Amino acid sequence: MADVKAEPHTGAVKFSMLIAGAVFALMMVIGLVMRAAQGNLIELEAPFFYQLLSVHGAGMVGTAGLSGAAVMWYFVGRYVPLSARMYWAFIALFLLGVVFILTAIFIGRYGGGWTFLFPLPAISGEAWEPWAAALFMLGYVSIGVGFLLYHLAVGYPIMKHYGGFARALGWHVGFGGADPADAPPPAIVAAAAVTIFNTIGIIVGAAVLVASLVHLLVPGFAVDALLAKNMIFFFGHVFINASIYMAVIAVYEIVPEYTGRPWKTSRVFVLAWTAILLFVMAVYPHHLLQDVVMPPWALVLGQVVSYLSGIPLLAVTAFSLCVYLHGSKMRWDLASSLLVLAVAGWSVGTVPAIIDGMISVNKIMHNTQWVPGHFHIYLLLGVVAMSFGFMAWLVRGTKASESGMSGLDRMAFGAYALGAAGFALMFLISGAMSVPRRWAVHLPEWVLQDRIATAFAVLVVVSTLVFVIKYAVRLGRAPG
Amino acid sequence: MRRPLLILSIAVFGSCVLFRQTLERDPVTHVLLLLPALAVAGWLMAVSLGRHRLRLREADANALTLLGVFAILFWMLPRYIDASLTNPLVEAAKFISVPLCIGAVLAVSWKATHPFLRGFLKANALSMLGVLAFLYIHAPVRICNSYLEVDQQRLGYGFLFVALALSLVWAVPLFFPADGGATPNKHLSGRATA
């Protein structure tokens, strides 16, 4: 470690974002195809629809994780020395996992959903062979091991450099009364928190994955279904949240370049991130509100923490962004526009999420399209927009002619914001009308919403292609 | 040589031999008390004989640590736990290999092992203890011929408690390291630019 100096590993990060951008685009096309099929615009065999649903879910969550990891690696690398070899090992394991998952789905015809909910992978009704389910889960194991290495590679230098996670989280400022000037930068506080909760999530996920694999090989070893569901949703919830919380570091680091005001670590910021650290892990029972055999206290915890979870985000990141933007001489280009859009979208996304986190609402809405509505806001208008903003910033030009937004940028940005908002809104409207989620075939009464959503999805796909192609074209010549 | 530690090591090992039958009667004490105690005896012996004089290269330390992990995995296999109860040769191998290949080896290699490998092994240990807990609690058959199904279920819960205890023991120093970290609260000068 001694010979490694702090640097952002731009080449490796750019490569990761190229992969992430391409996979995001591909997964969006798959999403478009599924919505078009539900709207009877094209025909898909139902088993193939569920294969696409599985690859779309796993692909989007995995790629959100990859892009968040790349963002965090880049900016943490500004403050502490990181091992490039570990990053490449992470990428290699990630790609190996992707190969396993794609093989399981498109050759093995696995269609049990990205949540691999026990015991579904083992009872396919001969839609897929056990090896396909096993390979799908081995793909997750490979990605999980990659992320474990990644977090060790980020967490260890942070711990050594800042004198333990307590100080990296800024607890000496938040709880010890130390001067906020002594606090680590926001990127480090966020990275420390994410490293802690995502590592715990991965450890839990690894245990349930291996247990599920054992069950596939020796069906007599049956996991307690409720325990497995708790572990899966703890792992899944923590992982997807980690991807957002990693990506938000781009906002903390990039927006100050546009406003001219550094994003500072305040006492409130520290307390908010400590709350996030706890809430992200405690809130997962809101995924199990329909499991009536769950202990009531756990469900109440899920609802109450759902209410609380929005506060650190809204009070700190969104409010702080407004303060930093207000009265500043903000330069608007594609990167800054997408990053601000992402914080706005993420904040708005908390509203349907909190509504769905209420037990009385969840009883009715949980299996409707309300749920994909809320997480598509988080993803399309949150973490994916942050990733595209980061990509645009990575290849920003230095010439005066390249600053600001071109006509194409404006059109692509507008189309993306409109398409993503409209697409997610159609899910919410459908959910409010009790249209079920995860159904390959829709009743005629539901088809109109599907078709409108398909049109919005086209806007999202086209604008995404503009972002990704522009990024790829500029990769070679921009300063990054 | 640190004589008190050597005496302590011999005492722990002797206690394991002396109370062998009592400890092996129950799988919980066999796996979660006897085996760790044997490893501790080996660890103490290595420390007492001056492990600090060994200057291991990191690669060698990594290899030795993996040897120790392999030995742990070997003695986690139910068939060898079973065999040690019925075959005196396997029992003897256990009393020799656990102190030497786990305790002594890890005493020599652990500190010099790459920190990423140590962290990786710790994280995996927690996951796999969880998996073992699942296997022993939910197994539809007796995993060890020498023990009853209810005993193996108790052992499963034992693995779970060990996982929880280890997660606390290993996590707390990450937050509050004894040495306070290498360069506490100092940002690197000359931040790299994009």
Q: In chain A, what are the domain boundaries?
A: 10-474
pLDDT attached to residue B115: 92
Residue A353 distance to chain B (closest CA, Å)? 30
Residue A278 distance to chain B (closest CA, Å)? 15
Residue B120 distance to chain A (closest CA, Å)? 7
Q: For CA atoms A230, A234, A235, A236, give the dihedral sign.
A: positive
| B192 to A6: CB separation less than 8 angstroms, yes or no | yes
Residue A326 distance to chain B (closest CA, Å)? 26
Contact list in B for residue A74 (CB cut-off 8 A) is: 194
Q: pTM to 2 decimals? A: 0.90
Q: How much is the ipTM here?
A: 0.81
Strand ranges (DSSP E) for B6-82?
none
Q: List the one residue out of A32, A48, A9 whose CA is nearest residue A456.
A: A32
| A207 to B184: CB separation less than 8 angstroms, yes or no | no
- B194 pLDDT tier (thresholds 50, 70, 90): very low
| A184 to B177: CB separation less than 8 angstroms, yes or no | no
CA distances from A56 to A33, A132, A233, A385, A438 (A): 11, 17, 18, 18, 12
- Kindly state which CATH superfamily the domain A10-474 is placed in: Cytochrome c oxidase-like, subunit I domain (1.20.210.10)
Note the pLDDT tens digit of each residue in B71-99: 999 999 989 999 999 999 999 999 999 99
Mean pLDDT, 10 residues at a time, chain A of 480 residues: 65 95 97 97 95 96 97 96 95 96 96 89 90 96 96 95 95 92 95 96 93 88 88 95 95 93 92 94 92 92 90 83 88 94 93 91 92 94 96 84 83 98 97 94 95 98 97 76
Note the pLDDT tens digit of each residue in B31-78: 999 999 999 999 999 999 987 677 889 999 999 999 999 999 999 998
pLDDT attached to residue B1: 72
Nearest to B182 among A10, A161, A211 (CB): A161
> Per CB distance under 8 Å, which residues of B are interface residues toward A?
115-116, 119-120, 123-124, 126-128, 130-131, 134-135, 138-141, 173-177, 180-188, 191-192, 194
| A184 to B185: CB separation less than 8 angstroms, yes or no | yes
Whole-angstrom distance, CA of residue A231 vs CA of residue A465: 36
For residues A362-394, one letter each, b for 16 or more C-beta atoms within 10 angstroms of the residue's C-beta and e for the rest, the string is beebbebbbbbbbbbbbbbbbbbbbbbbbbbbb
